[in-house]
Amino acid sequence: MDFTEVSSSRGTDFKKKKAKKKNVNEESIGECCEVKQEMEKSDAAEATALPPTFSVSEIKNKQRRHLMFMKLKQEKRKQKMQLKRKKKKEREALGDKAPPKEVPKTIENQRVYDETTVDPADEEVAFDEGTDEFSAYFHGLTNPKVLITTSDRPRGRTVKFCNQLASVIPNAHVFYRRGLALKRIIPQCISRDFTYLMVINEDRKVPNGMVLCHLPEGPTAHFKVSNVRLRKEMKRRGKEPTDHYPEVILNNFTTRLGHSIGRMFAALFPQNPQFLGRQVATFHNQRDFVFFRFHRYIFKNEKKVGIQELGPRFTLKLRSLQKGTFDSKYGEYEWVLKRHEMDACRRKFQL
C-alpha cells in the first residue's frame, strides 16, 4: 500500500487563524468597554452640567431618559443619607444639648383650624351632651337594641356582612326587608322598642352604603361603605367573637359634627363593657374616613399586649346627617357633603 504524505502546514495555518480571531474579539470587547465608560463619563458630566431648570422628561430617548432618572434618584438618595449621617453625628457630639428632632410635615398636623373644634372643658358642649338624643345611653337609663336590615333582594355577601355585624354589636337582630319601605319599618321598630335601625345597601352584589337611624327621634346618618372584608377573607384572624359586651374606642372625632357622629357610634354599644371578653371595637377617624376594626387583646406581660383581629373590617365616609328619622322628601338636613366645595382643600376636614 502507498501512503501519501500530508504536510503539517494546514494545521498550523488553522491555529494561526483561530488566534487572530481571538485577538480581534478581545480588541472589539475592549473597544466596547471603552465606549461604555466614555458614555457613562459623558452622562455623569451632563448630569453635573445640567441647568437647574432642566427636566428629565425633555429627553426624548426612552432608555436614556430612564437611565438619567435612575441616576438622579440615586444621587438624591445619597445626599439624603449623607445629611442624615451628618445630623446624627452632630446630635451625638452635642449629647444632651442637642436640639429636639424636627417633626415631619403631614396632612394631619398641617390641618386647617376649624372653628367648631370641641373643647372638653367647654360648658356649652357639656350641656349639649347632657340633653341630646344619646344622653340616656351614657347615663345608663336605656340599653341599645339594634335592627339590621338590607336593601331589597340582598346577595350572599351582603347577608353575611349583616350577620357578622350582628355578632359584633350586642343585642342586634337581623331581619330581611321583604320589599317594605323604610317609612313603614320605622314605626314598627319604635313599637318594638328598637333604638337603632341600620340599613345596609348594596350595588353589584357588594355592600356600598349604610343608613344609621336613631329611634325614636333621630338623627339619621348616611354613610358610604367601602373596603369591606369578611372574616373568611382575613389572614391570621382569631376565633369567633364571644357574647361579651366589647369596649369602644373613638379616635379623632374633634369637631362638633364629628363629636355627634362619635356619640352616635358609641350609643350602638352598651356602656358597661365586660372586660372578661377582652374585645374592642374601634372607630378611627382619619381624614374624614372612619375605619372600623374589631380586636381581641391579651396581656403578655406588664409592658407588652398582643392583639388579634376578629373582623369584619370596613371603611365609612359620611355623606349626610339628617334631623329626625329617615325622610328623603321632607327631611331637614344638618349637614350634606358637597364634594367640589368641601374636598377642594386637602388640609381641611369636617370630622
The span from the CA of 249 to the CA of 255, in Å, is: 17
Topology (CATH level 3) of domain 121-343: Rossmann fold (3.40.50)
| Mean of per-residue pLDDT scores for the chain | 84
The residue ranges of every structural domain in the chain are: 121-343
Determine the pLDDT at residue 8: 47
Please count the helices (runs of H) and the strands (runs of E) in the chain. Answer: 8, 11
CB–CB of 249/266 below 8 Å? no
Calculated CA dihedral for residues 329, 198, 131, 135, nearest 10 degrees: 180
Residue 305: pLDDT over 50: yes
Q: What pLDDT band is residue 3 in, cutting at 50, 70 and 90?
A: very low
Query: What is the pTM for the complete model shown?
Result: 0.73
Instruction: Answer yes or no: is pLDDT of 140 > 70.
Output: yes
| Residues, the chain | 351
> What is the spatial distance between Cα 35 and Cα 139, in angstroms, rounded to a whole number?
83
Q: What is the DSSP letter of 248?
A: E
The three three-digit cell numbers of residue 34, written as one number: 471603552
For 186-245, write each residue's pLDDT tens digit.
Answer: 999 999 999 999 999 999 889 999 999 999 888 999 999 999 999 999 888 888 999 999
